[in-house]
Structure 1
Amino acid sequence: MKIVFMGTPDFAVASLKALKEAEMDIVGVVTAPDKPAGRGQKLQVSAVKQYAVANGLRVLQPVKLKDPGFIEELRSLNADLQVVVAFRMLPEIVWSMPPKGTINLHASLLPQYRGAAPINHAIINGEKESGATTFFLKQEIDTGDVIFSDTVQIPEDMTAGELHDQLMQLGADLLVRTIKAIETGDYQEQPQPESGELKHAPKIFKEFCQIDWSRPAREVHNLVRGLSPYPTAFTQLNGKTLKVFRTEIEEKEPGIAPGGFLTDGKTFLKFAARDGFLKLTELQYEGKKRMGIGEFLRGVRL
């Protein structure tokens, strides 16, 4: 089967690498255009493009997915199947092109956590398990018929970054299994159930990341680990932004108003939430690097 792969970030590289190592026929890789970044505004290429170029794969970088030139070039590849991992929403003219359709790898157990940030929201909501799902694309985002899914457990203190890395590899293996099944016809599509409570995973904006210390300690703890290492939960300290990467819950009545803090100036800094304290163990002060609490307290006076 001839395959066109579509993806952009590191999460997608693991899948592309798995397909390449499984000796699948990748006739093209579609990824985001190069973008200027940093102070020098040097062109930055996507992680997927870096891998594709290093492995001699043909790369397409359309600005607009409906551009006639791109559509013509894509069609000329004569792909049997298109594979999408962490890419843009596709127009119907693109996803309906291959005879065997277009499949997507999504980092949740669909139909739960449809949307742009499934890994973050699963942890923020305190879920005990997550997973990866492969499905056929159709018009409404993340709603197509499920092919396969695999489940992983979420330990109590796992961060979004740690779950990302686990699902990245799990998803890559699941994708190879899915493509092999499509090639042999050995699979059974299952429509996604639409009944019951569906939890969503919308894109996360900065205002969502600010810690509300009037919330229960467990909720704040889950927010911190669900946004770690990116885009990162934050609060204010001495009029400056303090990013928080890891916390520990201390189940003890605060005795001070939510948002107040206690410190010995050497080993601990803990903020009061509604029903307990949160000890900050990894953090980053405005204008400083990320560091542990001991190093932080040696360099700042509170």
Structure 2
Amino acid sequence: MNPRLLFAGTPTFAVPALRALIESGQSPLAVLTQPDRAAGRGRKMCPSPIKQLALDAGIDVLQPERLKSSDLAPRLNDLQPDLLITAAYGQILPRWLLALPRHGCWNLHASLLPRWRGASPINQAILHGDAETGVSLMQMEAGLDTGPVLAQAATAIGDEETAGELHDRLAPMAASLLLQTLRQLVDGTLPAAEPQDDARATHAPLISRGDASLDWQQPARNLVRRVRAFNPWPVAFARLDGLDVRIFRARAGGSVGQAPGTLVRGHGRPDAVVVACGEGSLEILELQAPARKRVTAVDWLNAHPDWR
């Protein structure tokens, strides 16, 4: 018999997991998601991707500003859930909620725990040059991503893969891992969760726009990782030849013998805007100037021949 489920999630990473539950006939009794937020130039109030999917499927949606809300505990207790599944929900679960479901709470996390506990595991894996990452399903406890691991799935990180591209591969992997582990729970074949080795843990803090600033004194290979890690948000940016530019794609090039931050002209590579770095050079392939659209370096150089 399928367990009685609750689901908590907010952004697009959680959508494949919730959709997989619905399509497999295991729709949650209710969904928890963050309150609607203002977005876009008009600051219009927008529902989360998870709210929209839940409403389309006819599932009740709860959006507490805080999980300590006095009326939330009785409502969830009345549902008599067997299991709560979370995926990028955006709030820490209080102890009363962790203890509510008969089988506790499971969390889908976009890393191979204990590496990259926290809010930005995909970005940090790319920033630090990890060769692989993956998804983990863990039994939740009071600590931040510290609970024992029920299941994991690993994947290599592509040499040119951005955070957005990796996110879009990991989300369906997490959904598949969830369904597989739920089948084991129902069949009575679920292995015991493995405690994490805290000595191997690394932290993935919440990122901000300022984190995406590029320092031309750094080696080009490090800057390429930053460009990849902050695409699609907050997008790497830097001052170049008196202009503030956002950089979406880049590759590392060889030494050009000029001071870091210098726009290199006459470099003989018509498909890239080349900038000297502390070690090597950054070859920018896609960029955006203020109040302009995102363009390839080829289009930019055609419109700005003085940058050649």
Q: Specify the TM-score bucket, using the shorter chain as the normaliser.
A: over 0.9
The runs of at least 4 consecutive aligned structure 1 residues that moved more than 3 Å come to 263-267, 298-302
Find the partner of 1:66 among 59, 65, 68. Answer: 68
**Amino acid across the alignment from 1:280:** I
C-alpha separation between the residues in 2 aligned to 1:200 and 1:271? 32
Give the total of aligned pairs: 300
TM-score (norm. length: structure 1): 0.95
Give how far 1:240 is off: 3.5
RMSD: 1.6
Q: Distance in 1 between matches of 2:31 and 2:71?
A: 16
Mapping for residues 109-120 of structure 1, pairs under 5 Å: 109-120=112-123
2:15–2:53 contact (8 Å) kept in structure 1: yes
Residue 135 of structure 1 is matched in structure 2 by 138
Which one of the candidate residues 81, 84, 87 is aligned to 1:85? 87
Match of 1:292 among 296, 299, 303: 296
From 148, 160, 164, give the equivalent of 1:157: 160
Seen in structure 2, the aligned counterparts of structure 1 residues 208 and 25 have a Cα distance that, compared at 3 Å, is closer
Q: Which residue identity does 1:170 align to in structure 2?
A: M
Corresponding letter in the other structure for 1:26 = P
Q: 1:263 to 1:95 in 2, by over 3 A?
A: farther
Whether the aligned pair in 2 keeps the contact of 1:254 and 1:275 (CA below 8 Å) is: no
Give me the whole-angstrom Cα distance separating, in 2, the residues matched to 1:112 and 1:267: 37
**Correspondence for 1:103 among 81, 101, 106:** 106
Q: Which SS does the other structure have where 1:26 is aligned? A: coil
Residue of structure 1 equivalent to 2:21: 19
1:237, 1:192 → 2: CA distance?
45
> 1:163-198 deviations in whole A, cap 9, x for unaligned?
1011011111001112222233322210001234x3
Tell me, in whole angstroms, the C-alpha distance in 1 between the residues paired with 2:27 and 2:230. Answer: 37
Matches within 5 A, 1:1-302: 1-87=3-89, 88-187=91-190, 188-196=192-200, 198-250=201-253, 252-264=254-266, 267-300=271-304, 302=307
The Cα shift of 1:116 comes to 0.2
Gaps of 5+ in 1: none
Counterparts of 1:182 and 1:292, CA distance in 2: 49
Work out the CA distance in 2 between the residues paired with 1:38 and 1:217: 33
Q: Distance in 1 between matches of 2:195 and 2:272?
A: 51
- Matches of 1:92 and 1:259, distance apart in 2: 51
Q: TM-score, length-normalised on structure 2?
A: 0.93
